[in-house]
Amino acid sequence: MKEEPKLQHIYGYTNLNVQKAKHAAFEQTLSPATFQCKDPNALLGIEVEVENIREGIPLEYYWKIKADHSLRNHGVECVSIPLRGHQVEHALRYLKTQMCTFNKPDFSNRTSVHVHLNVRDMSWSQVKVLVILYALFERHFFNLAGTKREQSIFCVPLYKSNQLSTILHIQNGGTKWHKYNALNLGTILGDGDVGCYGTIEFRHLYGTDDLPTLMTWINNILLLRKASNEYKLEDLLEKVKTLNSTSEYVQLYEKIFQEYADLRSMSKKDFEYCVTHVKEVFWGYDLLRKEPYKAESSLGKKIFHTQVDDTQVNTKTYIKKHNMPYLAPGILTPEMVEKVNQDLLIALETEEGAF
We report the CATH number of the domain holding residue 44 as: 3.30.590
pLDDT at 221 exceeding the cut of 90: yes
Does residue 348 surpass a pLDDT of 50?
Answer: no
- 161 or 124: whose pLDDT is higher? 124
* Same domain assignment for residues 225 and 275: no
Q: Judge if 46 and 162 occupy the same domain.
A: yes
pLDDT exceeds 90 at position 157: yes
- Of 130 and 280, the structure prediction assigns the larger pLDDT to 130
Choosing from 211, 231, 251, the residue where a domain stops is: 231
Q: How many domains does the chain fold into?
A: 2
**In-domain check, residue 280:** yes
Q: How many Cβ atoms from other residues are within 10 Å of residue 55's Cβ? A: 11
Question: Is position 138 within any domain?
Answer: yes
Q: Does the pLDDT value for residue 146 go beyond 60?
A: yes
User: How is 220-235 classified by DSSP, letter by letter?
Assistant: HHHHHHHHHTSS-HHH
Contacts of 272 (CB under 8 A, 6+ apart): 246, 293, 295, 306, 334, 337
Residue 260 has pLDDT above 90, yes or no: yes
Residue 106 has pLDDT above 60, yes or no: yes
Is 238 within the bounds of a domain?
A: no
Q: Are residues 34 and 98 in the same domain?
A: yes
Residue among 29, 81, 85, 88 nearest 59 (CA): 81
The domain boundary, picked from 206, 231, 256, lies at 231
Structural domain of 189: 7-231
Q: What DSSP string runs through 324-348?
A: -----TT---HHHHHHHHHHHHHHH
Region of 83 please: left (phi>0), alpha (psi -120 to 50) or beta.
beta
Within this chain, do residues 227 and 110 fall inside the same structural domain, yes or no? yes
- Closest to 117 measured CA to CA, from 31, 39, 11: 39
Mean pLDDT score, 259-263: 93
Residue 120 to residue 188: CA distance in whole angstroms: 8
Q: How much is the pLDDT for 301?
A: 30
| Nearest residue to 296 via CA among 349, 235, 248, 228 | 248
Same domain, 152 and 102: yes
Residues 274 and 152 in one domain: no
205-231: average pLDDT: 97
| pLDDT value, residue 149 | 79
**Do 48 and 104 reside in the same domain of the chain?**
yes
Give the mean pLDDT of 298-322.
32
Residue 260 lies in a domain: no
Handedness of CA 19, 22, 26, 28 (dihedral sign): positive
Is the domain of 102 the same as that of 172? yes
Stretch 146-164: mean pLDDT: 85
Q: Are residues 300 and 158 in the same domain?
A: no
Amino acid at residue number 317: T
Amino acid letter, 108: S
Q: Is the model's pLDDT at 250 over the cut of 80?
A: yes
Percent of the chain with pLDDT strictly greater than 70: 79
pTM, two decimals, is 0.81
Q: Does 272 map to a domain?
A: yes
Average pLDDT, the chain: 82
